[in-house]
Amino acid sequence: MNEGWKIFIIILVILIVAFASYPFLLSYLPEPLSTVLTLVWGYLLFIGLGIFLIMIGIVAAYVFHSARYGLWLSRVGLILIIASYLFVLLDVLLPTWVKKEETAITECEQLVDVSNVLKTMSCLFIGYAPSKIGGATEVTYFNFIIIAIIGPFAFFFYIFRDLMNDMNFPSSNEAKNVIAFVGAYAALRGALASYFVQFFVYGWFGMGAFAFGVFMILMAWSLVGKFFKGFTYEQDVRKLLQVLTGKYRPLSPEAFLAFLSNLTYSAVESRKGSILDFIETNYGRYLRNRVELALRIAESSKDKTAAWKKGIEDIIKERAF
């Protein structure tokens, strides 16, 4: 049994035990914990579904020997967990234990207020701002901008940028940054502005809960990405060793280059000497030099895998073999 199935079975058992013990926990927990558990139970179902999808993604990667679909399944699971966690905070935990602040948050009636730059910034980005009538001060505005604008915007920008890196589209880093900026702004300004604003009305408790949640979510997002990158590296090295050791019939130069272009730069770099020797032995010194040049160019590039892929594709187009 491979590691993917082991992880899947362990998590499945934990989820079954957790849901089976729900009535027992409900009868023995004191107030207000039992009330809170009742309120969050529906959200816990979505969190459990998210964890289940992550595990399915990991198993799919091992079964199909490809990280592509497993990564997307795991991302969907993480998004379910993200949404459930934030809704639990705002709909259940904060209202149960934290009193709302007196500062009122109002929808902006005009975008620009020449007498208040901070209010103008809030209105331009999310369409909401603290109300002067509700006791807002400059400190209030600064806190509001951090928790309701900068924090969520950075969160969405990171998510959009990471997704485009996974897809490797578009190829230009500048284009990725522009799309990530526009996507983050649209998500914040359009659908979710009023939701994130609500964290502010719980004061420092709300802001702390939001900051902690975002930190944990981004860490989980990053760990899932690193797991699948590691999995891809492992699979690439395994396939590369099978080709280099002659397990497959000899490939034509074009087929071998196409095979190399689909590997990650890190996998190729880890077996650089063996690859170059194999190319020189089977396809000649000229092709070896071209591939070595592509490796050097990729090494100095920001996106090494994309640069490596482009370098090999250029060799194929030129038929330099």
Whole-angstrom distance between the N-terminal and C-terminal Cα of the chain?
A: 43
Q: Which residue has the higher pLDDT, 69 or 193?
A: 69
| Cα 140 to chain centroid, rounded | 31
pLDDT in tens, 143-179: 778 777 887 888 888 888 887 877 667 777 788 888 8
The structure's pTM equals: 0.60
Give the C-alpha separation, 186 to 181, whole Å. 9
> Helix, strand, or coil here: 174?
helix
Q: Which residue has the higher pLDDT, 151 or 136?
A: 151
Give the C-alpha separation, 281 to 257, whole Å. 15
Q: What is the mean pLDDT of the chain?
A: 77
88-92, 159-163, 214-218, 272-276: least confidently modelled range: 88-92
The predicted pLDDT at position 90 comes to 72
Work out the average pLDDT over 240-258.
80
Work out the average pLDDT over 238-255.
79
pLDDT in tens, 31-54: 555 555 555 566 677 777 888 888
- Tell me whether the omega of the peptide bond preceding residue 253 falls within 30 degrees of 0, making it cis: no
> Helix, strand, or coil here: 129?
strand
The answer to whether residue 292 scores a pLDDT higher than 70 is yes
pLDDT in tens, 211-220: 777 777 777 7
DSSP state of 190: I
The answer to whether residue 274 scores a pLDDT higher than 80 is yes
